[in-house]
Structure 1
Amino acid sequence: MSSQPDRIILPQNVSPLHYKLQLEPYFDTFKFDGTVSIDLKVNDKESDFVELNTFELDIHEAKINDVKSLETVTDEENQTSRFKFPAGTLKDSDNVTIDIKFTGILNDTMAGFYRAKYIDNATGETKYMATTQMEPTDARRAFPCFDEPNLKASFEITLVSDPKLTHLSNMDVKKEEIFDGKKFTYFNPTPKMSTYLVAFIVAELEYVECKDFRIPVRVYATPGSEHLGQYAANLTAKTLSFFEKAFGIEYPLPKMDSVAVHEFSAGAMENWGLVTYRVVDLLLDEKNASLERIKRVAEVVQHELAHQWFGNLVTMDWWEGLWLNEGFATWMSWYACNQFQPEWKVWEQYVADDLQSALGLDSLRSSHPIEVPVKRADEINQIFDHISYAKGSSLLRMISQWLGEDVFVKGVSQYLNKFKFGNAKTEDLWDALSEASGKDVRNVMDIWTKKVGFPIVSVTEDGHKITFKQNRYLNTADVKPEEDKTLYPVFLSLKTNSGVDHSLTLDERELTVTVEDVDFIKTNANQAGIYVTSYSDDRWTTLSKQSDLLTVEDRTGLVADCKTLSLSGYTSTKNFLQLISQWKNEDSFVVWEQMINSLGSLKAAWAFEPKETLEALDEFTRQLVSEKTHSLGWEFSENESYASQRLKVEMFSSSAAAKDPVVVKAALKMFEKYTSGDSNAIPPLIKSSVFGTVARDGNAKNYEKLFAIYKNPSSSDEKLSALRCLGRFEDPALMKRTLGYLFDGTVLNQDIYIPMGGMRGHKEGIKTLWAWTKENWDALHKKFPPSLTMLGSILTVATSGFTSRQAIDEIEDFFKDKSTKGFDQSLAQTLDTITSKANWVDRDREVVVKFLKEHNYYK
């Protein structure tokens, strides 16, 4: 029996040792034939069956040592097949081999062994690649297997196809032969690994390589675009070398391949030795890419390579430990980026990026703990979210600051060495970090990983006495007593004119300290802790005038906290508007990005307010950003620093979105020149902002031009920018046309939410998008099965733009008689998000109007 009886897992009468798997895909019928032989360890000799995970597989035959199974019982609900054998079949041996013949579907749902559609650049012909995505539980769509992460085994894979196609798998090639007009590629056996990391690809592919590492490092793509893989190939070689030194463990496989896959549900997948990526997250035209795109590719590549150790070499025991994989790989990618590109100042950006993503989701009642119990396969996809990735990595950042980065990485290395080729639990990592640091890491971190949410720390001042009090934070501000029982160990990191006091930990409800100089106080120095801080109105006013005493992380964190507290009513939105209006002379692009994002959250909540209020908010934004935008300009040179370029991009983009007439005129002129044949008319770094300006201008002729760019782009970056902006046109006929492209094959399945996201940016788009979603719900449900993550993402985009209780009633009414299995968490989180926006607007509608009128922002 399982040690956790409520978990739905396979019987443990046998366990896998080694798989021999042969697969042959057919691109005419979109099916594949397979055979698998699994060497089994017999744990219960009295049993007479073998049960495996299978899904959408047609089983033809199963035998053990030439003894055929008597019957096969398939359970579609639990995705298993039980093969019953004559009594005594397992009795006489410690190990047996089961041989199974089967046929599967080369599906178009981006799961298991599937087909990815693309257009051949040279011929214009529609072609397909056969590729895999097994995580979390879709290896069972590709072959009968023990599809649980702690049932590791080794794999020997053989692929069969037309000789002209490339065959790739986790390992290097043992031998290749042509037989009967077909190519057979036999790969060397893998080390022990989990089924979700198995990968194989059959496709027309070319590659580039980097020879700076001791083993082959290659990036593959469909012919014609492989040259765009050189940046990633070079970075891969450099990163593998860096991680080997950091972890003190050699990368254990004989090669590292990366492949650009045309239809891909995630950003990338860390399959051991054969990492697969969404095209836009791997291939890069550096000269024509935005700075965000370059940083994104670097982050994704380094994230997947961190997984080669953390996740692949040592794997979580079960799916509630997913955060260990994802949180760590996220933290490690930032750590590596910081080593390779110190001018990117990634730890500053982290506060505006991952930390805010984590706090945003975790401020909802429908959030979940970092470690969340998972009982069924269909629950797993829903935890691939900002809690596992962003809160997980934010927690690791907090620990690394507490212990020191060097000690943290040393503890991780000890953990990896101890559990390599095996499985481990969260507690095992805490124990290794405790050993390396001499601190009680487990006791502190158990609360953070096993409890949902994070605290608000309220700061009250009485002369030199300062009291800190913690409570659970919810952005609906309606915390019930039973939800407020957890007391988090909060590292206060109190910053004053004397420096930072790292000794203060708030692990009770309240703590009072005496501070000699109270002219300047700020908790959570450098924003390393996972909490928000609430100050008095007077202290907010004082802090808004003390930017010179604050680091970039501090300033970014203050802006984010003040917006968060405004949203939930712990402070007035007036404090937020006053704070950012004081910081017009800010020089950090990170702080500007946070100010603009936070202002964007306010505008999104106010989306359905009267037109004159929205125009006044635009005027507020223009007066905040225009002067700096005009003085910086929007010309770029190669000699400029990364920070200078990012600042220009942020200011131009903000001014364009706020309809600054000078910037709008410049953007439209650039677009006109660009579409008339001047390929250098738009600097690549601001191309997406120019496209967005054109869409907001609403001209139908420009829609045609953007659509032409989408169909024939100069880069994948440009293609996605054009696609997103097709959703930003407000003309009802153009919105209808854009939505039509989501189902007719014009937009790839993986990209469907991109134009939807553009449409969510304006009131009419929000309403049109929801009407379309309701009308097409059955088709969406069929196209994106609930067992995949895409349906939840689509639902979120289609509904979360609303800002009223009336909308909540309508959404709940629509789903009341429908199954929400597989996306119930996304639905609950969306409704929480709308509730918090409705509360915010109702509470501070008049406050915002009064502030805007008093400062003459109304025209």
Structure 2
Amino acid sequence: MRKVHSATQPTDSLAGGLGGAGQSGNGRDILPGNLVPTAYNVWLTPSLVSFTFDGTVAIDVACIESTNVVVLNSKNLTIHKAEVTVGDVTQFASDISFNTDKEQVTFTFADQIPAGSSASVYVEFTGIHNEQMAGFYKSSYTDEAGNKKNLVATQFEATDCRQAFPSYDEPALKATFECTLVVPEELTALNNMPEVATTFFTNTDGKKVKEVKFARTPLMSTYLVAFVVGDLESIETVATPKSPENAEPITIRLFTVKGLVSQGTFALDVAARTHQFFSEYFNEAFPLPKSDLVAIPDFGAGAMENWGLVTYRNVALLCEAENTTASAKKEIAYTVAHELAHQWFGNLVTMSWWNDLWLNEGFATFVGWLAVDFLFPEWEVWTNFINAEFNQALQLDGLRSSHPIDVDVKSAAEVGEIFDAISYSKGASVIRMLNGYLGRDVFMNGVRSYLQEFKYKNTVTADLWRHLSASSGKDISTLMHGWTKETGYPLITVESQTYDESANTLTVTLSQSRFLSAGGLTPEEDTVTWWVPVTASTHLTGKTGVSKHVLHDKAGTITFPYNISENAFWKLNFGAEGLYRVKYSDEQVKQISHTLEVRTETFSVGDRILFLSDAMALTNAGLGSITTVLNLIKALFNETNFNVLESIANTIQGLLSSFYLESETVLEGIKALGRSVFSPKVATLGYEFSESDDYFTQQIRGLAISLADRCSDVNVQAELASRFGDFVGGKITALHPEIRTVAFRSVLSTATPETADARFSAVFAVYMDPATQAEAKDEALRVLGAIRSSEHIDKLLAMTFDPEIIRSQDMYAPIAGLATSNPDPAIIRPLLREWFRNNWDKIYAKFESGFGLLGYIFSASFSTSVGEEVVKEIEDWASGAGLDEEAVARRVKETAGIRRRIDQGLESIKSKTSLVARERETLVAYFT
């Protein structure tokens, strides 16, 4: 799934085993292990009129222990009938009972199901096509003629298959699935497998329908079963992998609602080429006869890897190539690659339990980037990876409220919380580090043998380590223990250095400790010793290569070739491949800054990004000064690489966001620094885009204009306002896609009382226009919050609850826009917090089952704020302070699913508050 990105053997290793039967004794809220499913036969009649569905399911089970009770997962289903058949004997359930909290239904029978026997459990039921983007849910859209239409689709990960049919809804309980859908004859019905038979008939209501039967799936987990029913159109192509020898051509189809399919050509081509890449990389043929990609108008996540039927948000799949930003195309390519990676790593081989979610998501993130790099080498995506994934991992995992990659999950309610930057970004960064340490071929060979042993089975992290150990000859389980089993990552501190003139070597003494972004590390928090792959690069690297070492202990030394010369330098963590931060001596920081200023290209792009990232992180933790950060930005004045410029831009925006309550001296000083870097680039590059511009030139121009505008460059703002006027007047080419959003945000943030309504209405019209492609609609919605007018802010907040205007999947976007784009954060952020508290009941009702969206909206409403009073505000709200006993219990229960997100938000706000108090006077002095 795409998010909106050991030494001790586990006791519950079930590799290739029977799932729940072996999972007792770990406190997990799982089904009894006495019955294990082997095959499902599912029959459903979805309705796009009543939005209810009737269904039956027959589950073949193997009886491990004698029992007269069958327990299945079931949620929001009405059970009409249940029976079990053993041999020729069928008995009906004498009692049907539900445990709503555990999402289970229990069928009790008079006679025992004997141990060692095979049985068939048959259930008749009715379900609801809900509007919460979970289970078998309803999605609405407006067609080309302006008519409102609907489709139904599924989202079962993590634990919502149980909303479509009673099931053994745990990843380790793999089985085959034969599915049948009865739908109106004019609609398209899709499943994981191709249809094998279609029968047309008239139902009891006199409607013409068709019964579509699909082929049997391979062994797979319930969360990967999928259905889509709607008025769809499609395009298709064929992927032709060259290896392995048994690889067959794969039919690739892309489906959309009518009128949008032409926007799928880019993604379809990426999908075909990605299938070929992964078939060859994994050396394992894609096991299904077809691979479908479907754009769904309402979708809670970014995309979902259902085997053979991957579903996506429109914006994650569709684009008009000539009217799309470079970053949007990269995001589509990456999302397609990420989901197709899961077809092998996640679907073919699946984690045994959700604690190993990172095996799915971290690996798919890494090889997703690997595939995009192979398809589009000119994009230099591994440098972009540092900003997009690596820094996200460091940011979240620097919190005390973070969690290990391999985190224990007890119940369905807890699963959603770990679809975060730890499972995805840290997981991918750890895999990237290990891939770099072992080498691509050694790593790939270990992955290949892992897939061969466990295909159609379930695994735990230790199984992957065992195969990588075999391919490398190294004890990977021991080496990776700290990275996956412990929270956090190390700070490598340079303690001293000694130059040996006779040997031309430098010996550096290093120590490691846990890095905490809020600082204040205690001995009790610093008990982990990581295996750290340390690389050292110098001015001699072109001749000697990068020097590689491993720091196994809390302290140690490394020695590498070096000499004293005019341009001499050295640094650690070449290319930001190791997941750690580095603290140099003050003297070396000055030397690095000087070298950056006079010979920027001396350091790799990744090095330059990491210098700034580490400096800001050390400042946040109280281990460095804000002046180091500001001087590094000044030293990078002549920077020309897009990814480094993006890092500078992110740092400046972060400073503006953290110090928004400070004096005009501080705020104007930060903006002036931003203008000093980006305004000259606007003057050089201009506003006109050409077909001859390369990939990065377009992005640099857009980024420079954006930051100059955010830093109040009045000349840039005037130019954008002029171009916006031409755009509204009908000259669409006045705003190239790379600066379209920038212009929207600029004119809204600078609107006067006289121009506010016209400008807001113009941007809102872009969002509401059915002809606007998904990316531009998403952009417009996010920047509406830049408007200063209280009247329009109230209007925007009211619209968030109107699904006819703003889809539930997008509700967080305008909230995030208000928090980050509005030029009056001191006014807006308290308003957002009040809005969230006052509307919590409505927000919770809307997203109770929605994947992660409660957490997104909480973060957008609170996490950009600063101040001790904000901390108390959140703590009081989350605990239900001032409410009666019943309401307090309800508040605690409702927030259980976002408790980790709340704790992380609180810690982040405390950290920023400390930063502001600590560096306030330094900034005043610096800018004065």
TM range (shorter): over 0.9
2:257 is the counterpart of 1:200? no
Aligned-residue offset at 1:87:
2.0
2:39 is the counterpart of 1:18? yes
Q: 2: distance between equivalents of 1:153 and 1:517?
A: 63
The 5 A counterparts of 1:458-857 are 458-464=493-499, 466-499=508-541, 501-513=546-558, 516-517=562-563, 519-546=568-595, 547-698=600-751, 699-700=755-756, 701-712=758-769, 714-745=772-803, 746-761=805-820, 762-785=825-848, 788-817=851-880, 818-819=891-892, 820-853=895-928
Aligned-residue offset at 1:282:
0.5
Q: 2: distance between equivalents of 1:788 and 1:715?
A: 24
Equivalent residue number for residue 135 of structure 1:
157
SS of residue paired to 1:822: helix
- Stretches of structure 2 that go unaligned for 5 or more consecutive residues are 1-20, 203-207, 241-248, 500-506, 881-890
Aligned-residue offset at 1:315:
0.3
Aligned-residue offset at 1:272:
0.2
User: Alignment length, in residue pairs?
Assistant: 850
Per-residue Cα deviation, 1:602-655 (whole angstroms, up to 9, x for no partner): 111101212342122111211121112211122222222212222212211111
Contact 2:494 2:585 in 1 (8 A): yes
Name the aligned partner's letter for residue 609 of structure 2. Answer: T
SS of residue paired to 1:264: coil
2:171 is the counterpart of 1:126? no
Name the aligned partner's letter for residue 121 of structure 1. Answer: E
SS of residue paired to 1:115: strand
Aligned-residue offset at 1:261:
0.4
Aligned-residue identity in percent: 37
Contact 2:237 2:253 in 1 (8 A): yes
SS of residue paired to 1:258: strand
The 5 A counterparts of 1:62-101 are 62-65=82-85, 66-88=90-112, 90-91=113-114, 94-101=117-124
Equivalent residue number for residue 17 of structure 2:
none
Name the aligned partner's letter for residue 843 of structure 1. Answer: R
Contact 1:537 1:575 in 2 (8 A): no
The 5 A counterparts of 1:399-478 are 399-464=434-499, 466-478=508-520
Contact 1:800 1:830 in 2 (8 A): yes
Aligned-residue offset at 1:548:
2.8
Q: 1: distance between equivalents of 2:920 and 2:191?
A: 58
Q: 2: distance between equivalents of 1:176 and 1:78?
A: 38
Q: 1: distance between equivalents of 2:912 and 2:191?
A: 48
SS of residue paired to 2:311: strand
Aligned-residue offset at 1:251:
0.3
Equivalent residue number for residue 153 of structure 1:
175
SS of residue paired to 2:813: helix
Equivalent residue number for residue 246 of structure 2:
none
The 5 A counterparts of 1:121-520 are 121-122=144-145, 124-180=146-202, 181-213=208-240, 214-464=249-499, 466-499=508-541, 501-513=546-558, 516-517=562-563, 519-520=568-569
Contact 2:94 2:107 in 1 (8 A): yes
Q: 2: distance between equivalents of 1:112 and 1:367?
A: 29
Q: 1: distance between equivalents of 2:849 and 2:225?
A: 23
SS of residue paired to 1:239: helix
Per-residue Cα deviation, 1:396-449 (whole angstroms, up to 9, x for no partner): 000011011122122111111111011111111111111112222111112210
Q: 2: distance between equivalents of 1:325 and 1:445?
A: 17
2:114 is the counterpart of 1:103? no
Q: 1: distance between equivalents of 2:471 and 2:496?
A: 38
Per-residue Cα deviation, 1:62-109 (whole angstroms, up to 9, x for no partner): 011331100011100100001001123x13871111110000111000
Contact 1:378 1:787 in 2 (8 A): no
Contact 1:787 1:822 in 2 (8 A): no
Contact 2:549 2:558 in 1 (8 A): no
Q: 1: distance between equivalents of 2:698 and 2:850?
A: 42
Per-residue Cα deviation, 1:815-858 (whole angstroms, up to 9, x for no partner): 212212100000000001101100110110111111111xxxxx
Name the aligned partner's letter for residue 588 of structure 2. Answer: R
Q: 1: distance between equivalents of 2:423 and 2:200?
A: 46
Equivalent residue number for residue 18 of structure 2:
none
Per-residue Cα deviation, 1:764-808 (whole angstroms, up to 9, x for no partner): 221211111111011111111167311011111110011111110
Aligned-residue offset at 1:461:
3.1
Higher relative contact order by CA 8 Å / sep ≥ 6: 1 or 2? 2
Please say which of residues 778-787 and 185-194 is displaced more in the overlay: 778-787
Name the aligned partner's letter for residue 802 of structure 1. Answer: S
Per-residue Cα deviation, 1:351-381 (whole angstroms, up to 9, x for no partner): 1220001011001110000000111111110
Task: Give the TM-score, by structure 2 length.
Answer: 0.90
Q: 2: distance between equivalents of 1:776 and 1:161?
A: 38
Q: 2: distance between equivalents of 1:791 and 1:498?
A: 52
SS of residue paired to 1:48: strand
Task: Give the TM-score, by structure 1 length.
Answer: 0.97
Q: 1: distance between equivalents of 2:585 and 2:256?
A: 56
Name the aligned partner's letter for residue 338 of structure 1. Answer: D
Equivalent residue number for residue 56 of structure 1:
76
Equivalent residue number for residue 502 of structure 2:
none
Per-residue Cα deviation, 1:543-566 (whole angstroms, up to 9, x for no partner): 112233200111111111111111
Contact 2:134 2:849 in 1 (8 A): no
SS of residue paired to 2:170: coil
Contact 1:456 1:531 in 2 (8 A): yes
Q: 2: distance between equivalents of 1:164 and 1:787?
A: 30
- Stretches of structure 1 that go unaligned for 5 or more consecutive residues are 854-859
SS of residue paired to 1:233: helix
Please say which of residues 506-515 and 442-451 is displaced more in the overlay: 506-515
Name the aligned partner's letter for residue 84 of structure 2. Answer: I
Please say which of residues 162-171 and 730-739 is displaced more in the overlay: 730-739
Please say which of residues 801-810 and 453-462 is displaced more in the overlay: 453-462
Q: 2: distance between equivalents of 1:633 and 1:662?
A: 12
Equivalent residue number for residue 16 of structure 2:
none
Q: 1: distance between equivalents of 2:319 and 2:522?
A: 49
Name the aligned partner's letter for residue 313 of structure 2. Answer: R
Name the aligned partner's letter for residue 76 of structure 2. Answer: E
SS of residue paired to 1:231: helix
Q: 2: distance between equivalents of 1:796 and 1:721?
A: 19
Aligned-residue offset at 1:455:
1.0
Q: 2: distance between equivalents of 1:805 and 1:725?
A: 28
Q: 1: distance between equivalents of 2:693 and 2:496?
A: 45
Distance verdict in 2 for CA 1:212–1:146, change over 3 Å: closer
Q: 2: distance between equivalents of 1:792 and 1:439?
A: 40
Equivalent residue number for residue 857 of structure 1:
none
Aligned-residue offset at 1:3:
4.2
Contact 1:786 1:821 in 2 (8 A): no
Name the aligned partner's letter for residue 258 of structure 1. Answer: L
SS of residue paired to 1:22: strand
Q: 1: distance between equivalents of 2:277 and 2:549?
A: 35
Distance verdict in 2 for CA 1:786–1:470, change over 3 Å: farther
Q: 2: distance between equivalents of 1:646 and 1:709?
A: 22
